[in-house]
């Protein structure tokens, strides 16, 4: 019988196995799960940004129809300790850990509330409708305290204090110097610097957060379903904080409707729901509504940052200096506290050869929702600021911004390159990705055409942003949060030769079930249908640190490959004994196992499985063993993909509106498992980046009231704001990972703020417009344009009255084919 050759799965655009059930409405998201006797919880949340709680009266709520229980913070703290995110002493970071201040985040506020939307009381009733009715009857006596909602104010000695015992509002401060930055800045011919004010953003997955807890009094065991990227970490944490035996706690992540990092911390609500389930002995469900989501799901990106670049007249960047002040909100997200400012301070030099670097960093508490991890963490703002300053430098030196970058980017011959802060980049295509993108845009002609258009009163600009990204870091990176970076996967064969893969990861939508099946399918040379992935159930999967840091393909994929190979060793051993040859004579070919060079001496996978598991007596000298293996994989210290983004925009000087004419990404994530999925991640990430750059802003007033509390105010891009994004792939494999893969899920979100800020600054350079504030709103641009006109001296050329401006005439929309 002729065996059909195995068509390699990795590297191809395999259609996703997850899609059919999602397309037919058969996804199992948290709100789709119903358990017998299930009841619902509604939270009473603080309307004040800062207040002491003088008293809570729940008597009327308890009488409300359908109510089973009401829980306050005072009661909850008797059953669960607060979330206490910490920095731990990791080698080289001892001083950092010692300056860190711990803030207790009680799942239900105890004594004091520190942000509008903080959960204060939990009401359980037969339905969500009835729970909300009852929640309105809870009476909380607040004594308002002065609020602080701006980091500059928060740092003043007279500022209101969120934690009076601290004496100030600084959760973390750090500073470091590398090389000789003082010399670099003294010696420099030119210094450009800017103070940047960035917006408060959030992931805004279309599915909000949610969880269900069920307690079984007979076995004293607890089950928690949660829309979480880190189910095993949730299990570990809930057990610790409740003093609950971990072996009797099961956590399951169902289908997740988007996470983006917002679901990669432990929610206070997860703890509350567990306490309630135990109290009422019925399953308790909480589904966050969008209002709660905007108020109390974690926020990101916001801060006040001053950054300076020093350079020679020839355009060599000599040094970098920064003061980074992150707006931490009221509490640290658990467990990855302060990861945004920490990450920014370490990666700020980016893909450039900058060895003289100095920073001062502060993570400052304010009366807002907590800051936490959101897609690419500190990299988007770091890239925005440095890339913007590189363009400022280019303008100052009258140098082409592309030429300036090419002069300073880490070059192929520099690998492995150790950055000022000690990161080692093993491989990348920084200059190459820049080059490829320019070829596509016919860059040479752009400046002339830009001039022509300016003469017609049209303002078109081009902006670039380059980055190198840290993904799938090794355990050293996580030690500071008392975590590690390895993961464990089990590969199991069935008697009929089918394959199950078990990973503690959960997937917020990137297609893990498909990509992992591609990887394992190739190891055994079987089709996609023969491999099924089981994820995110703590009872059925090995411990995983979860889906974050773009680590899945590198770490989980790596562990899966190792486990698969261990299983293959066992298969080969069985086959060798049965066929009476040495194991090194055995090979896998097209899903069958046989003797090398002897096509007639082979067995089907199913035959070997049966021999091993059903009839080991027929295998001379073998010991019974299941055909499964569990392997852990510690990834290399860093895996570093890179990309360059290029944006061409037109800005209407009369309205300040920005239109993206063209957007291109040149992307390098090493070996791609599924290019179609990679493209989807790039486009999704870039779209979030566009929102970050132009539209999104969580705005608090001085009383700490969130003014952007609905989707009418917090604006994420629709189809109308999102251009077609052209993608070019480069493939520089990692020299260190299994399969040469690099992480890539987050990267799309890194470069758009930088690329768009630069494009807008370029478009409006006749007006000298600064783009040092996000989001880049029409109003901010318009004001600067008016001011420039009032100052005079702006050569606008003959003014052209605008009709329906279709910018296709400019030729920059760039048809793809």
Residues that bind another protein (CB under 8 A): 13, 15-16, 18-20, 22-27, 29, 31-32, 129, 203-208, 255-258, 260, 287, 289-290, 508-511, 676-677, 679-680, 683-688, 710-712, 716, 718-720, 722, 724-725
For 695, residues 6+ apart whose C-beta sits below 8 A from its C-beta are 715, 716, 717, 721, 775
Which is closer to another protein, CB of 388 or CB of 512? 512
Nearest partner of 366 among 341, 397, 331, judged by Cα: 331
Rounded to a whole number of angstroms, the minimum distance from the CB of residue 126 to another protein is: 12
In the 8-state DSSP scheme, what is residue 72? E
For 585, counting Cβ atoms within 10 Å of its Cβ (0-12 exposed, 13-18 middle, 19+ buried), the class is middle
Rounded to a whole number of angstroms, the minimum distance from the CB of residue 299 to another protein is: 16
Rounded to a whole number of angstroms, the minimum distance from the CB of residue 680 to another protein is: 5
Rounded to a whole number of angstroms, the minimum distance from the CB of residue 260 to another protein is: 7
Nearest partner of 728 among 690, 789, 684, 678, judged by Cα: 678
- Taking CA 45 as the corner, what is the angle to CA 204 and CA 330, rounded to the nearest 5 degrees? 70
Phi, psi (degrees; rounded to nearest 5) at 234: -60, -45
Which is closer to another protein, CB of 579 or CB of 676? 676
Give the residue carrying structure tokens 């397309």. 23
Rounded to a whole number of angstroms, the minimum distance from the CB of residue 460 to another protein is: 20
**The dihedral sign for the CA sequence 800, 805, 808, 812:** positive
Phi, psi (degrees; rounded to nearest 5) at 181: -65, -35
Rounded to a whole number of angstroms, the minimum distance from the CB of residue 652 to another protein is: 19
Nearest partner of 204 among 144, 146, 161, 262, judged by Cα: 262
Nearest partner of 339 among 295, 374, 365, 304, judged by Cα: 374
DSSP 233-245: HHHHHHHHHHT--
Which is closer to another protein, CB of 65 or CB of 416? 65
Which is closer to another protein, CB of 32 or CB of 569? 32
Which is closer to another protein, CB of 1 or CB of 712? 712
Cβ atoms of 80 and 152 closer than 8 Å? no
Which is closer to another protein, CB of 26 or CB of 618? 26
Rounded to a whole number of angstroms, the minimum distance from the CB of residue 663 to another protein is: 10
Rounded to a whole number of angstroms, the minimum distance from the CB of residue 810 to another protein is: 17
Which is closer to another protein, CB of 45 or CB of 114? 45
- CA distance linking residue 39 with residue 41, whole number of Å: 7
- Taking CA 771 as the corner, what is the angle to CA 769 and CA 775, rounded to the nearest 5 degrees? 130
Which is closer to another protein, CB of 184 or CB of 725? 725
Rounded to a whole number of angstroms, the minimum distance from the CB of residue 22 to another protein is: 3
Rounded to a whole number of angstroms, the minimum distance from the CB of residue 200 to another protein is: 17
Which is closer to another protein, CB of 278 or CB of 299? 299
Residue 488 has a CB neighbour count (10 Å cut-off) of 22
Question: Largest Cα–Cα distance in the chain?
Answer: 95
Cβ atoms of 41 and 286 closer than 8 Å? yes
Which is closer to another protein, CB of 124 or CB of 184? 124
Which is closer to another protein, CB of 223 or CB of 688? 688
- CA distance linking residue 31 with residue 330, whole number of Å: 29
Rounded to a whole number of angstroms, the minimum distance from the CB of residue 296 to another protein is: 15
């Amino acid at each position: 019988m002729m065996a059909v050759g195995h068509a390699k799965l990795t590297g191809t655009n395999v259609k996703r196995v997850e899609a059919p059930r999602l397309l037919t409405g058969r996804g199992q998201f948290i709100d789709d799960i119903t358990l017998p006797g299930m009841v619902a919880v509604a939270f009473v949340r603080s309307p004040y940004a800062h207040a002491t709680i003088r008293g809570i009266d729940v008597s009327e709520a308890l009488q409300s129809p359908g109510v089973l229980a009401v829980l306050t913070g005072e009661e909850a703290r008797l059953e669960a300790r607060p979330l206490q995110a910490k920095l731990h002493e990791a080698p080289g970071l001892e001083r950092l850990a010692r300056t860190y201040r711990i803030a207790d985040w009680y799942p239900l506020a105890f004594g004091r509330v520190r942000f509008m939307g903080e959960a204060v009381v939990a009401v359980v009733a037969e339905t969500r409708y009835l729970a909300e009715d009852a929640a309105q009857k809870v009476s909380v006596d607040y004594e308002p305290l002065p609020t602080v909602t701006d980091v500059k104010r928060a740092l003043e000695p007279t500022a209101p204090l969120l934690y009076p015992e601290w004496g100030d509002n600084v959760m973390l401060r750090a500073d470091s110097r590398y090389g000789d930055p003082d010399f670099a800045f003294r010696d420099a011919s030119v210094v450009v610097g800017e103070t940047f004010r960035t917006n408060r953003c959030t992931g805004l997955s279309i599915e909000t957060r949610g969880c269900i807890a069920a307690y079984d009094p007979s076995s004293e065991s607890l089950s928690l379903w949660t829309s979480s990227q880190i189910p095993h970490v949730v299990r570990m944490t809930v057990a610790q904080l409740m003093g609950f035996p971990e072996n009797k706690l099961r956590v399951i992540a169902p289908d997740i409707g988007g996470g983006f990092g917002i679901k990669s911390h432990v929610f206070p609500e997860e703890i509350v729901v567990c306490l309630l389930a135990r109290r009422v002995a019925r399953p308790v469900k909480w589904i966050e509504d969008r209002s709660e989501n905007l108020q109390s799901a974690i926020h990101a990106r916001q801060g006040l940052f001053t950054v300076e670049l020093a350079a020679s007249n020839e355009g060599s960047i000599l040094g970098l200096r920064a003061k980074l002040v992150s707006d931490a909100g009221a509490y640290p997200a658990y467990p990855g506290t302060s990861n945004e400012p920490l990450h920014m301070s370490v990666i700020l030099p980016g893909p450039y050869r900058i060895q003289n670097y100095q920073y001062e960093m502060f993570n400052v508490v304010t009366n807002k929702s907590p800051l936490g991890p959101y897609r690419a963490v500190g990299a988007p703002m770091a890239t925005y600021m440095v890339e913007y300053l590189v363009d400022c430098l280019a303008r100052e030196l009258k140098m082409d911004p592309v030429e300036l970058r090419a002069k300073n980017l880490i070059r192929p011959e520099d690998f492995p390159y150790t950055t000022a802060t000690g990161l080692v980049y093993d491989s990348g295509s920084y200059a190459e990705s820049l080059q490829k993108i320019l070829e596509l845009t016919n860059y040479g002609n752009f400046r002339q055409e830009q001039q022509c258009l300016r003469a017609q009163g049209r303002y078109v600009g081009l902006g670039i942003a380059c980055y190198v990204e840290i993904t799938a870091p090794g355990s050293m990176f996580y030690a500071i949060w008392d975590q590690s970076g390895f993961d464990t996967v089990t590969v199991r064969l069935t008697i009929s030769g089918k394959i199950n893969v078990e990973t503690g990861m959960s997937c917020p939508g990137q297609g893990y079930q498909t990509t992992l099946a591609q990887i394992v399918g190739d190891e055994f040379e079987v089709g996609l249908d023969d491999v099924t992935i089981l994820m995110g159930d703590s009872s059925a999967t090995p411990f995983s640190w979860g889906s974050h840091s773009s680590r899945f393909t590198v770490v989980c994929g790596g562990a899966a490959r190792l486990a698969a190979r261990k299983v293959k060793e066992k298969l080969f051993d069985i086959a060798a004994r049965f066929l009476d040859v040495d194991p090194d004579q055995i090979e896998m070919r097209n899903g069958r196992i046989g003797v090398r060079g002897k096509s007639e001496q082979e067995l089907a996978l199913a035959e070997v499985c049966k021999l091993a598991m059903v009839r080991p007596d027929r295998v001379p000298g073998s010991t019974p063993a299941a055909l499964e293996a569990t392997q852990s994989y510690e990834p290399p210290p860093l895996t570093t993909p890179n990309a360059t983004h290029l944006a061409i925009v037109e800005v209407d000087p009369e309205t300040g509106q920005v239109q993206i004419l063209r957007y291109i990404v040149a992307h390098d994530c090493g070996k791609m498992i599924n290019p179609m999925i990679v493209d989807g991640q790039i486009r999704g990430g870039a779209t979030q980046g566009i929102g970050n750059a132009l539209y999104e802003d969580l705005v608090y007033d001085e009383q700490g009231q969130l003014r952007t509390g609905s989707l009418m105010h917090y604006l994420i891009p629709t189809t109308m704001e999102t251009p077609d994004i052209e993608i070019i792939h480069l493939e520089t494999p990692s020299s260190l990972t299994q399969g040469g893969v690099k992480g890539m899920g987050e990267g799309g979100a890194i470069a758009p703020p930088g690329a768009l800020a630069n494009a807008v600054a370029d478009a409006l350079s006749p007006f000298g417009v600064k783009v040092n504030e996000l989001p880049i709103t029409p109003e901010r641009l318009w004001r600067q344009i008016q001011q420039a006109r009032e100052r005079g001296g702006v050569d606008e050329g003959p003014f052209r009255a605008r009709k329906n401006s279709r910018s296709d005439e400019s030729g920059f929309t760039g048809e793809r084919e």
